[in-house]
A = this chain, B = another copy of it.
């Protein structure tokens, strides 16, 4: 009976090697079905991902899928190989959206191990990976770094030489990908829902996105299954009953998606996410929580050689069960307001019309 060998237990810390390449399972042809489900779960209203003619008017062949939907699909594929035995998700950085993903495209994912560092307790270690999503033509559509604390299977396994990759704290303006396809001269501000363009936003500005969205178990589980993400904590009420929180945790990416969807009110023309600079899931979220969000403009960059588009580096903060009228934040002591669940640092593109 060779049965136990049939089941994949996921990789433990000592299973990773520096430079190792992992090809993740289950390529995914994304479709308008995924888009509809994503809309039903988030309520996203950005015109470029909602309407083909709007997308065509700015040079795209049709409405691309939401960059976050593409990100979640790539991320989900990495879970069985990278984080099934994760003790903690520590961070991500240098996320870049290099090409739009369209319905009909097939996304595959692979990762390379870029760093390893065993913890002093000898029971866990940090694994650094760079993951990429590619389309059916082999073009990279998403590229990001991630690090995660993974359990050892055998605490006696020898520690690897410690290697920690250098990672930028944000994707600089020169590294942003602004697809040549984007021809913002055809951007329809009325259809997009706001007359405000890039020049209307200034660093330091804060925006309350007002509305809240309550999450049900069925909703976050459907979203996470849509991404074929297999992390047990999101799905298994028996397994999580005896965990620290006693219940299913919501996938942090679902909170990012809800915050982004809520941000439409105030950032309707932030039509494209070009980069994920980093993010912190400050506190867990559970079914029944109501998510609110506010954003701060961190930096404002023109795009070299492109006079009709600019970039904004944003921080979007999400809270649970607390409206953001007063911009709940991290205090001077470094501690977050108890309602904050997400502090997400990313870069969006916005059209410019005053040129």
Contact = CB atoms under 8 A, between A and B. Distances in A.
Interface of A: 1-3, 6-9, 23, 25-29, 31-37, 39-47, 50-54, 63, 80, 103-104, 106, 108, 136, 190-194, 196, 200-202, 204-214, 216-219, 221-223, 225-226, 228, 230, 232, 235-239, 248, 265-268, 288, 290, 321-323
A37 to B, nearest CB: 5
B37 A33 contact: yes
Contact of A50 (B29, B230, B290): B29
Given A207-B3, A219-B218, A35 B31 contact: yes
A40 B225 contact: yes
B106 A52 contact: yes
Count the copies.
Answer: 3
A70 to B, nearest CB: 14
B6 A207 contact: yes
B33 A321 contact: no
B225 A43 contact: yes
Contacts of A288: 237
A191 B26 contact: yes
A194 B45 CA distance: 39
Contacts of A106: 51-53
B208 A7 contact: yes
A36 B34 contact: yes
B206 A3 contact: yes
Contacts of A40: 37, 222-223, 225-226
